[in-house]
A and B are shown apart, each in its own frame.
Chain A
């Protein structure tokens, strides 16, 4: 009987300690756009934020944000640099990461991904960052995620990666290829990590006024929603994700999307 009591107390203590601890999110590409907003909003919500980007020394806004919110730690991470990925994963070894947001992504040069002007370097970069980068980072941090409470890996997809909608011709062929390949890669991650109870989110930000969006449509991006609104929606979608809805693509506003 005494043992049972001790066991109960111990369990209660552990659970208590666990819930008292803040959740942790790791975000790639957090120096600007959606990644920056993710960092800000998770910090405001009291999370521990590991905000990664390629060149922290140039990420002034992010550094300012990290000064304001002590829960933000800025880390260097180029998702194409395996050594950097391995080093960061080693540095945080044993640290549970509740939500991994694979946000880093590129649109690629608009020139060089239309029929007639295909450029291999552009293809390689878009596929490398948007697909391989996500796979490599998810691979490196899967144990951190599996060891956490929430166990979520998220990829940022796009309507351009929804094949059934027929998309459009004309432009962004590599970007389109990368986003559907990303979706497929994330389905693989979900399949491989299902028995570890890891949940995978595939979420589209909608048209939001970011630098990337301005690369595509210029000043017309001013008519898009604010990045903050898109991210607020995506954070809610992430919070609502369960094993049952794992890999179901969602728009930022919670609407399910087809493949």
Chain B
């Protein structure tokens, strides 16, 4: 009888837990652009959102979102600062994180990554943020993801990071492109590492989303996609992620990108 009661209590706890507990997402670089849109979208779904960025004090949009949606919690996280990563992982220790979105990324200055004016500091900045940052954040929160229900880790790649495709015969933007192709390869390796825990690691690309990065950093003049549309498309891909579907990078519009 005692055993039966314990079992019943456990069942109830599991069921209640499943039904009553919202899923949690952690997003890096969520103060602007796509990161902000991810935070908005998951908040609208009533998820618990851990919205991280380098300087939470200076992010009015995110603060407004958090004021409106108490489930959005702002946290300080510079993905190139190991101490901050460790501190945040410690703070959320044993908290399950269903979805980790490695969104933080930089384009880098255009001049320092053009043949003829290569700049090693710029190289390091782009690689550190876009590749090492995603790796080390993933490492720090992998146990939180393993402990969750959804068990998904996502990194933001780019069509410019494909070795084959519209960018293949265009020069320039060396570090950004190399960083995204490097990211593709290592996230794939991390996916193999975490497969045994049931974790799906996937890559999504935002298309030409109308963000600060594309408009101001890259000075892109072509047609752009509203960030909310881009993010909605990527979230649709993330929702459907399986070990199989997450094999290749997926563009926001559902198109599978080449490596």
Q: Which residues of A line the B interface, CB within 8 A?
A: 82, 114-116, 118, 120, 123-124, 127-128, 131-132, 135-136, 138-139, 142, 161, 163-164, 166-170, 173-174, 176-185, 187-189, 191-194, 259
CB neighbours of B179 from chain A (8 A): 181
B139 touches A188 (CB 8 A): no
A188 touches B118 (CB 8 A): no
Q: What is the bound-complex CA distance between A169 and B135, given in angstroms?
A: 13
- Among A82, A127, A170, contact of B193 (Cβ-Cβ < 8 Å): A170
Can you identify 15 A-B contacts, CB atoms within 8 angstroms? A118-B132, A118-B136, A131-B127, A132-B120, A163-B163, A170-B189, A173-B190, A177-B131, A177-B183, A183-B181, A184-B181, A185-B178, A188-B171, A189-B171, A191-B168
Q: What is the bound-complex CA distance between A142 and B118, given in angstroms?
A: 13
A115 touches B193 (CB 8 A): yes
CB neighbours of B173 from chain A (8 A): 188
B177 touches A184 (CB 8 A): yes
Main secondary structure of the interface of B (DSSP, over half): helix
- Among A114, A118, A124, A161, contact of B185 (Cβ-Cβ < 8 Å): A161
Main secondary structure of the interface of A (DSSP, over half): helix
Interface string of B116-137 (1 = CB under 8 A from A): 1010100110011001100110
A118 touches B135 (CB 8 A): yes
CB neighbours of B258 from chain A (8 A): 259
Q: How far is the CB of A184 from chain B (nearest CB, A)?
A: 4
Q: What is the bound-complex CA distance between A118 and B80, given in angstroms?
A: 13
CB neighbours of B135 from chain A (8 A): 115, 118, 123, 173
CB neighbours of A164 from chain B (8 A): 259
Q: Which residues of B line the A interface, CB within 8 A?
A: 82, 115-116, 118, 120, 123-124, 127-128, 131-132, 135-136, 138-139, 142, 161, 163-164, 168-174, 177-179, 181-186, 188-195, 247, 258-259
CB neighbours of B185 from chain A (8 A): 161, 163, 167, 176-177, 179-180
- Among B132, B138, B163, B193, contact of A184 (Cβ-Cβ < 8 Å): B163
B118 touches A139 (CB 8 A): yes
Q: How far is the CB of A259 from chain B (nearest CB, A)?
A: 4
Nearest 3 CB-CB pairings of A with B: A169-B192, A192-B171, A181-B178
B174 touches A191 (CB 8 A): no
Q: Smallest CB-CB separation from B184: which chain A residue?
A: A163
B190 touches A115 (CB 8 A): yes
CB neighbours of A82 from chain B (8 A): 120
B161 touches A184 (CB 8 A): yes
B189 touches A176 (CB 8 A): yes
Q: What is the bound-complex CA distance between A259 and B259, given in angstroms?
A: 7
- Among B82, B132, B139, contact of A115 (Cβ-Cβ < 8 Å): B139
CB neighbours of A185 from chain B (8 A): 174, 178
Q: A170-B189, A173-B189, A181-B179 are in contact. List 14 more A-B contacts (CB 8 A).
A: A114-B193, A135-B115, A139-B116, A161-B185, A167-B192, A169-B192, A169-B194, A169-B195, A183-B181, A185-B174, A187-B168, A188-B174, A192-B115, A259-B163
B188 touches A166 (CB 8 A): yes
CB neighbours of A138 from chain B (8 A): 115
B171 touches A168 (CB 8 A): no
Most chain A CB neighbours (cut-off 10 Å) among B115, B127, B138, B182: B182
Most chain B CB neighbours (cut-off 10 Å) among A124, A166, A176, A188: A188
Q: How far is the CB of B244 from chain A (nearest CB, A)?
A: 12
CB neighbours of A182 from chain B (8 A): 178
CB neighbours of B168 from chain A (8 A): 187, 191
Q: How far is the CB of A109 from chain B (nearest CB, A)?
A: 15
CB neighbours of A259 from chain B (8 A): 163-164, 258-259
